[in-house]
Amino acid sequence: MISPMEKFRKTEVYKSIFRHKYDDTPRNRALQIVDNVFLHLHPVRIARHATNIGYTWGMGGITFLLFLVLTLTGVILMFYYRPTAQYAYDDMKYLMHDVPFGPLIRNMHRWAAHAMVITVMLHMFRVFLTGSYKPPRQFNWVIGVVLLLLTFLLSFSGYLLPWDQLSIWAVTVGTNMARATPLLGSEGPFGPQLGMKPNADVRFVLLGGTQVGPPTLLRFYVGHCIFLPLIATIFMVVHFWRIRKDGGISGPETGKKNF
C-alpha cells in the first residue's frame, strides 16, 4: 500500500513545485542547489576549512546577517514613522508605547546597528590577523573599507531619525566638522578660495540648509533607508563575489585544499 504522503508526492501539483527528489548522489545534491534561486547564490560546495570558526570567526557573515535584520526591522518600523520635524519624535514615542511589539522592533533595530559596527571591526581585525588581505585579495580590502564607511554613515544618518536632543546635537557637531573639510567646506583649507560659502558647501548639501532642520531629517531619512542601503548592497555584492572568485573564505595555509 502506498502511503498518502507518497501518493501526494506523485501528484502533478507537488511535482510542479518540488522539482527534484532527494536522492543522495553528488549530481542530485548539486542539482538541488543550482536549481533554486535562493540557494544558488551560495557555492555548491565549500572547503572544509571554511567551517573552522576558530579561524574565520564568521564575523563577515554575522555582519551580513545583522544587515538583513536591520533591513527587515527597518521596513517594519517604516509603517509607523514619519520623517518630519512635526511627527518624528511623537511617532517614536507612539511606537514605544502604543504599538504592540513596537519596543521589540525598535530595540532590535538599535541593538543590531550597534552590533553591526562592532562585528564589522572584528571582521576587519580577523582579516588582518589571518593575512587575508594579501594578493590576490588586496582590492577586496579596499572595498571592505568602503563598506566600513557606509556602515558608519548608516549609523550616523539613522541616529538623527528619533529627532531628540541627542540626535540633533550629534548631527550638528558632525556636520560642523564637515564644514572644515578641505576644498569642500566653507571653513576648511582652500574652501573659500574655491567659492565655498555657508549656503553652498558640502555641509549645506548634507543639511539641506544652513542649520539642522526638517530638510535635514528628510534628507537623512532618504539616505538612511534608500540611498546608503543601495550603495552598500552594490559594494557587498562585489565584496562577496571577489571572495568567491578568489576561492572562498580564506583558510590556514596548507599543502592542498580539501573540497
Partner 1 sequence: MGRKSFLSYAGWLSFLSFLAISTIGSLRYMFPRVLFEPPSKFKAGLPSDYVIGEVNEQYKDTQRIWIVREKEGFYALIAICTHLGCTPRWLAAENKFKCPCHGSGYYKNGINFEGPTPRPLERAQITLNDDGEIVIDKSIKFRYELGQWGQPGSFLKYTG
Q: Helices 138-160 and 102-129, interaxial angle, to 10°? A: 160
As measured in angstroms, the least distance from the Cβ of 173 to partner 1 is 34
As measured in angstroms, the least distance from the Cβ of 104 to partner 1 is 8
Of the two residues 58 and 102, which places its CB atom closer to partner 1 in the complex? 102
Instruction: Name which of 113, 188, 99, 119 is nearest 156 in CA terms.
Output: 113
Grid coordinates given for 216: 535635514
Please check whether residue 225 is in contact with residue 78, taking contact to mean a CB–CB distance below 8 angstroms.
yes
Of the two residues 87 and 240, which places its CB atom closer to partner 1 in the complex? 87
As measured in angstroms, the least distance from the Cβ of 98 to partner 1 is 4
Of the two residues 5 and 173, which places its CB atom closer to partner 1 in the complex? 5
Interacting residues with partner 1 (CB under 8 A): 76, 79-80, 94, 98-102, 105
Please check whether residue 136 is in contact with residue 245, taking contact to mean a CB–CB distance below 8 angstroms.
no
Please check whether residue 228 is in contact with residue 148, taking contact to mean a CB–CB distance below 8 angstroms.
no
Of the two residues 100 and 255, which places its CB atom closer to partner 1 in the complex? 100
How far is 223 from 158, CA to CA, in rounded Å? 9
| Cβ-based burial of 100 (10 A; exposed 0-12, middle 13-18, buried ≥19) | exposed
As measured in angstroms, the least distance from the Cβ of 185 to partner 1 is 42
As measured in angstroms, the least distance from the Cβ of 2 to partner 1 is 21
Of the two residues 100 and 135, which places its CB atom closer to partner 1 in the complex? 100
